[in-house]
């Protein structure tokens, strides 16, 4: 909700944008694990959880409770992205083992960079990569789209 890139969007659009960006940076965020995003679903009771590629989206009646439960259930290292100091303290106390915390701003910026890099234009095709009948295709499209006056 604090991301200036999406702050003017609806809550659902902000969530979709976050999940979309995280798909691009999931490998860097969790190279040996998985990325799980937990959203409060108080307004959307019955909203199903879903897999969005490498990112699993979970809707819970209370996101904080769900995050603590998931941290406690995972064996090994857990990394939690939150700026909520109360949630951090609760996880550290309830889980009783080392959990790495990361700033939401840091991860959002990383995901945004990865998303922009993935959307960068691809290089122009070289001439030898064009199909043999490229000129014929161009001529046909010109006939279909252009009137006699334009051609």
* pLDDT tier for residue 24 given thresholds of 50, 70 and 90: confident
Q: 11-20, 26-35, 140-149 — which is least confidently predicted?
A: 140-149
Domain count for the chain = 1
Task: Specify whether the CB–CB gap between 97 and 72 falls below 8 A.
Answer: no
Instruction: Report if residue 128 sits inside a domain.
Output: no
List of residues 6+ apart from 149 with CB closer than 8 A: none
What digits encode the pLDDT tens for the residues 88-142?
999 988 886 778 888 877 776 766 676 666 665 544 444 455 566 667 767 666 6
Instruction: Report if residue 113 sits inside a domain.
Output: yes
- Residue 7: is it exposed, middle or buried by C-beta count within 10 angstroms (0-12/13-18/19+)? exposed
Instruction: Report if residue 114 sits inside a domain.
Output: yes
- Degrees to nearest 5, angle at CA 84 with 83 and 85: 105
Instruction: Report if residue 93 sits inside a domain.
Output: yes
Instruction: Report if residue 130 sits inside a domain.
Output: no
Range(s) of the domain holding residue 78: 11-122
CA–CA dist 30, 131 (Å, integer) = 40
Instruction: Report if residue 127 sits inside a domain.
Output: no
Please report how many Cα atoms fall inside a 13 Å half-sphere around the Cα of residue 43, on the Cβ side. 3
Query: What pTM, to 2 d.p., does this model score?
Result: 0.66
Instruction: Report if residue 91 sits inside a domain.
Output: yes
* Other beta carbons within 10 Å of 123: 6
What digits encode the pLDDT tens for the residues 30-74?
777 788 989 887 666 555 567 666 788 888 889 999 999 999 998
Instruction: Report if residue 135 sits inside a domain.
Output: no
Q: Average pLDDT over the chain, rounded to whole?
A: 75
């Amino acid at each position: 909700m604090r991301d200036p890139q999406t702050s003017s969007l609806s809550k659902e659009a902000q969530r979709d944008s976050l999940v979309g960006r995280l798909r691009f940076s999931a490998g860097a965020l969790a190279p040996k694990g998985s990325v799980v995003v937990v959203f409060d679903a108080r307004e959307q009771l019955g909203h199903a959880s879903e897999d969005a590629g490498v990112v699993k989206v979970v809707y819970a009646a209370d996101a904080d409770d769900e995050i603590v439960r998931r941290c406690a259930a995972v064996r090994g290292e857990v990394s939690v992205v939150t700026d909520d100091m109360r949630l951090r303290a609760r996880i550290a106390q309830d889980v009783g083992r080392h959990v790495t915390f990361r700033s939401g701003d840091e991860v959002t910026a990383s995901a945004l960079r990865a998303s922009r890099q993935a959307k960068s234009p691809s290089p122009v095709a070289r001439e030898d990569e064009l199909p043999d009948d490229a000129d014929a295709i161009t001529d046909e499209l010109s006939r279909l789209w252009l009137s006699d006056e334009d051609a």
